[in-house]
Amino acid sequence: MIFMLNKKYVLLYKTLSHPIRVEIICELLSNELGVGDLSRILGKRQSNVSQHLQILRRNDIVTSNKLGKHRIYKLNDEPRRLFQSLSNLEL
C-alpha cells in the first residue's frame, strides 16, 4: 500500500517537473481552454503544448471534451483542489 502511494506521488512530481506543464495547470485553474488558446497565452508552439497536455491527460491531471473540431481541456476535480490549495500558500 505504501509503495503504491509513493509511486503515485513520484508520478505526480515527475509530471509537475516541467515548467510548461505547471504553466498549463495555472491557466487551467481559471479557464477551460483549447490547445490554440494555451499556445497563444503561453507563447509556445501548439505541438509543444499538445505534447505536454498528453502527459497531463495520461496522468489524470486534465481531461478534455470535444467541441466541434477542437478539444477543450480542464483540470480534473482532485488535481484542481490540490493546485488551488497550493496556489494559496505564501512561500
Q: What is the reported pTM?
A: 0.86
What's the CA angle centered on 62, arms 59 and 63, to 5 degrees?
A: 110
Is 89 within the bounds of a domain?
no
Instruction: Provide the CATH number for the domain around residue 49.
Output: 1.10.10.10
Q: What is the pLDDT of residue 88?
A: 75
Q: How far apart are CA 69 and CA 67, in angstroms?
A: 6
Query: Which grid coordinates are listed for 12?
Result: 505526480
Is 63 within the bounds of a domain?
yes
Query: Which grid coordinates are listed for 86?
Result: 497550493
What is residue 21's three-state secondary structure?
helix
Is 85 within the bounds of a domain?
no
Residue 91 vs residue 30, higher pLDDT: 30
Q: How many domains are there within the chain? A: 1
Is 87 within the bounds of a domain?
no
pLDDT band at 5 (very low <50, low <70, confident <90, very high): low
Residue range of the domain that includes 36: 2-77
User: How do residues 15-68 score in pLDDT, each as one tens digit?
Assistant: 989 999 999 999 999 999 999 999 999 999 999 999 999 999 999 999 999 989
